[in-house]
Amino acid sequence: MTLNYDNEALPKVLTVENMNPHIREMEYAVRGRLAIRAEELRDALAQGEKLPFKTVVSCNIGNPQQLNQKPITFFRQVVSLCENPDLLAPEKEAIVSQLYPIDAIERARQILKDVGASIGAYSHSQGVPALRKSVADFIAERDGHPADPNSIYLTQGASSGVQNILSILTQNEKSGILIPIPQYPLYSATLTLLGATPVPYYLDEETGWSLDVEEIRQTVREARSKGTDVRALVIINPGNPTGQCLDALNMQDVLTLCHQERLVLLADEVYQTNIYEPEQRPFVSFKKALKEHPQHDTIELVSFHSISKGMIGECGRRGGYFECCNLDKGVMDQLYKMASVSLCPNVSGQIMTSLMVTPPKQGDPSYELYHKEMTGLYESLRRRSKKLEAVFNDLEGVTCQPAMGSMYLFPRIRLPEKALARAAELNQKPDAFYCDLMLEATGVCVVPGSGFAQKDGTWHFRSTFLPPEELFDDFCNGIRKFHQDFMNEYNK
């Protein structure tokens, strides 16, 4: 018998046709086709190709440090000492104390003690207990209500927490999860992967992307009458891609709805410090709102936070947490089993999560610089959000709600008939057509609204306002000129 080792002749065992169909069907526009094209253009520029622009600007993703945002000094000082504990040896003290403030050195020592072994060792599957305790203390101080470290899971970004919670929540294809439209596509993608059913509810653009509880109730009842087992409600607050912040009264109504309709509430609060109208619309966590609700002992809530956003922007480090309230004890055990299969979240991400929740305090040697960096970044983000919003609202056929929070604007674009016809000819959605042309003309990569879903017949795109302030005017002018040229071309 002769064995055939000729690879060419053998069909592949695994093919796109026989792979997991849920993965094939999954879509994630934030890093989709346009982002891939942006990388090609970046390579072309690096190789000296002449294009109508000098740089590619990735406004498709909330990834601040990719756009030159500086990391917070204190956080990096502590993690660098944790990564290289040799620097903490007594004989190095004289040198190291010249390079690092004493509170960074002390903090690193404390963290290494808390972690116990090397940070290269697996930790507790839920996250290092002492680091979880620091998260619990932060929540208690933020909300004025206690938090239990045993109800907290440290995670690799909020993403892995959301994925785990959606997995445990869904039983089969009838299991339905209410997601906002527009939504952050982690939710739709994960539900596709799990073979469960997204149940869309719509945010109202005209009223600043507000959420109508009675409309959600109708949606639940309708979905249930058609056989969908609606189990949970996802709320992204502040919103992505829409930037709205919920008010406290509205939140109480949401909790009442969850109680009456028997829904688990998933509160995605990763943008909780990106709040740009704090007097008018301060951030209120759903944990705090829950504690002030008559059904505070029964409503099941999971809330998520991350080190990727805020002024920290440590996206690549993959850290975050979720807190569970009022979940069934048996479900909590199963959740622990799930986490244990992945052994543990990465320890560097856990350390950054603990630093996010225990920054230097007033009076500490690092406080002044920390405070200056944080407020500088915050003010700059706020200025950039207002500036870009004004630019969008000034464009012909464009309207844009302000970002009360988050890192994004989601302008609505009304495209001329001729542009709609051209997009149809190319078999493209009109917003994708517009965003493609913007990228090719300006190097600015944004995401078409269709990647987040939107009300039928409306078209949008999402842009971050993260390009650095010194380049921001050029960035705005590029968009302005592109839009004028586009309208001139298609309005003729």
236, 263, 290, 311: which one binds ligand DCS (CB under 6 A): 236
Q: Which stretch binds ligand DCS (CB under 6 A): 14-22, 58-66, 69-77, 166-174?
A: 58-66
Identify whether 146 is preceded by a cis peptide bond (ω within 30 of 0).
no
Residue (177 or 236) nearer to ligand DCS, CB: 236
Q: Is 158 in the site for ligand DCS (CB under 6 A)?
A: yes
Q: Which stretch binds ligand DCS (CB under 6 A): 107-115, 156-164, 251-259, 412-420?
A: 156-164
- Measured between alpha carbons, how far is 171 from 362 in angstroms, rounded to an integer? 49
Q: Is 30 in the site for ligand DCS (CB under 6 A)?
A: yes
74, 184, 370, 392: which one binds ligand DCS (CB under 6 A): 184
**DSSP-assigned letter for residue 454:** -
Q: Is 320 in the site for ligand DCS (CB under 6 A)?
A: yes
Q: Is 233 in the site for ligand DCS (CB under 6 A)?
A: no
Contact 266/162 with Cβ under 8 angstroms? yes
Supply angle C-alpha 129, 132, 137, rounded to 5: 125
Binding mask 249-288 for ligand DCS (x = CB under 6 A): -------------------x-x------------------
Q: Is 347 in the site for ligand DCS (CB under 6 A)?
A: no
Contact 392/398 with Cβ under 8 angstroms? yes
For the CB of residue 286, give the shortest distance to ligand DCS in the complex, in Å: 14
Q: Is 243 in the site for ligand DCS (CB under 6 A)?
A: no
Residue (152 or 270) nearer to ligand DCS, CB: 270
Supply angle C-alpha 469, 470, 472, rounded to 5: 55
Closest CA to 195 of 179, 221, 174, 180: 174
* Secondary element (H or E) of residue 23: helix 21-25
Q: Is 312 in the site for ligand DCS (CB under 6 A)?
A: no
Q: Is 315 in the site for ligand DCS (CB under 6 A)?
A: yes
- Measured between alpha carbons, how far is 191 from 84 in angstroms, rounded to an integer? 40
Binding mask 197-226 for ligand DCS (x = CB under 6 A): ------------------------------
77, 123, 134, 159: which one binds ligand DCS (CB under 6 A): 159
Q: Is the Cα dihedral 147, 150, 152, 154 positive or negative?
A: positive
Q: Which stretch binds ligand DCS (CB under 6 A): 56-64, 140-148, 256-264, 333-341?
A: 56-64
> Which amino acid does the sequence have at 366?
S
Question: Which residue lies nearest ligand DCS, judged by its C-beta?
Answer: 157
- Measured between alpha carbons, how far is 86 from 255 in angstroms, rounded to an integer? 50
Residue (349 or 360) nearer to ligand DCS, CB: 349
Q: What is the helix, strand, coil percentage profile of the chain, to 5? A: 50, 15, 35
Closest CA to 231 of 191, 271, 203, 286: 191
* Residues found near ligand DCS in the complex (CB under 6 A): 30, 61-63, 157-159, 184, 186, 236, 240, 268, 270, 306, 308, 315, 320
